[in-house]
Amino acid sequence: MGNRKPSWVVMELLTFGQLSMIYDRMANASDQKAIARLFGTQAELLRSWLQTLSYMRNVCAHHSRLWNRELGNAPKVPKKSPSSWIKWPIEVSDDNIRPYVRLYLVLVVIEFLLQSINPESSWHQRLFELMHKYNRVSKAHMGMPEEWSTDSFWRLSEE
């Protein structure tokens, strides 16, 4: 095998931005589609989501503000909502806020991906607890509906 490393070793060494770029620049669209299917989505959406997650990771790494921020790189959404998707369209309590370019949609993407990667993940429960703890924070400014936790997408009623 020489100096060659298994692909899983290389993947663990990549930054999220590098991973996003590799996916974006794959030579075969059929490979992108196959990977996206593993996550229950389409290549165009997964490409967008990886770019958004990379952007968000950088926002967090540089201690920038997430709340009350319009995202420069918002995730694309399915044209036809899959069965495991949030209530659509997103409605927030402030008509001046565009929820599709806010944090909530990124949280939805994270949960959607986690449901396929690890269906036993309790990340959504920890999000619920965090939002409950800081219940005075304006959900609208995150692009989040007031009753977001009652949406069946979040699986909170199962717990």
53 by Cβ neighbours in 10 Å (0-12 / 13-18 / 19+) ranks as buried
Segment 15-29, tens digit of pLDDT: 989 999 999 999 999
Tell me which residue range forms the domain holding 71.
Answer: 7-158
Note whether residue 48 is domain-resident: yes
**Cα dihedral across residues 31, 36, 42, 45: positive or negative:** negative
Note whether residue 1 is domain-resident: no
For tokens 């899959």, the residue is 82
Q: Residue 83's pLDDT is what?
A: 77
Note whether residue 40 is domain-resident: yes
Q: Which amino acid is at 68?
A: N
Note whether residue 86 is domain-resident: yes
Confidence label for 84 from pLDDT (cuts 50, 70 and 90): confident
Number of folded domains in the chain? 1
Note whether residue 2 is domain-resident: no
Q: Which amino acid is at 100?
A: Y
